[in-house]
Amino acid sequence: GAVVSQHPSRVICKSGTSVKIECRSLDFQATTMFWYRQFPKQSLMLMATSNEGSKATYEQGVEKDKFLINHASLTLSTLTVTSAHPEDSSFYICSASGRKNLANEQFFGPGTRLTVL
């Protein structure tokens, strides 16, 4: 399957700071990228969907001014958590979808664990 990477894999920051998470599709062009959040012992919850070159579409209850998403190219999307607070501590996972094959599966990154102190 295709490879999607995330960086960093783990980050610890102080409350009030901003954190940027990168998501890269390494061997295919990702026309659409998705950002999910997963709290302990819970399932993945979609935060937003982004298409290359256009604004992201956010799910209900997700603050677009707090979670800034940029999908500037077909291989890179970034999620910036602005003014992070302890309640933003979570496992953030991106996935990418593109016209790589007919299966139309999404390829998921390894996740980024954010801890806000």
Partner 1 sequence: DAKTTQPPSMDCAEGRAANLPCNHSTISGNEYVYWYRQIHSQGPQYIIHGLKNNETNEMASLIITEDRKSSTLILPHATLRDTAVYYCIVRGFNYGQNFVFGPGTRLSVLP
Closest-CA residue to 17 (of 110, 111, 88): 88
Q: How far is the C-alpha of 101 from the C-alpha of 61, rounded, in Å?
A: 33
State which of residues 99, 101, 115, 117 lies at the interface with partner 1 (CB under 8 A): 99
Using CB under 8 A, which of the segments 11-19, 62-70, 75-83, 108-116 binds partner 1?
Answer: 108-116
**103, two tokens:** 């299966």
Listed residue (96, 73, 74) closest to 1, CA to CA = 96
Name residue, tokens 């996972």. 93
Site membership for partner 1, residue 70 (CB under 8 A): no
- Least distance from partner 1 to the Cβ atom of residue 10, Å: 10
- Helix (H) / strand (E) element for 52: namely none
On whether the CB atoms of residues 68 and 80 are closer than 8 A, the answer is: yes
In this chain, which stretch among 14-22, 70-78, 82-90, 102-110 interacts with partner 1, using CB under 8 A? 102-110
Least Å distance, CB 16 to partner 1, is: 26
Determine contact, residues 117/15, Cβ cutoff 8 Å: yes
Selected from 28, 34, 58, 67, the binder of partner 1 by CB under 8 A is: 34
Closest CB to partner 1 among 34 and 67? 34
Which residues of the shown chain bind partner 1 in the complex (CB under 8 A)? Answer: 1, 4, 6, 31-32, 34, 36, 42-46, 49, 51, 91, 93, 95, 97-99, 103-111, 113
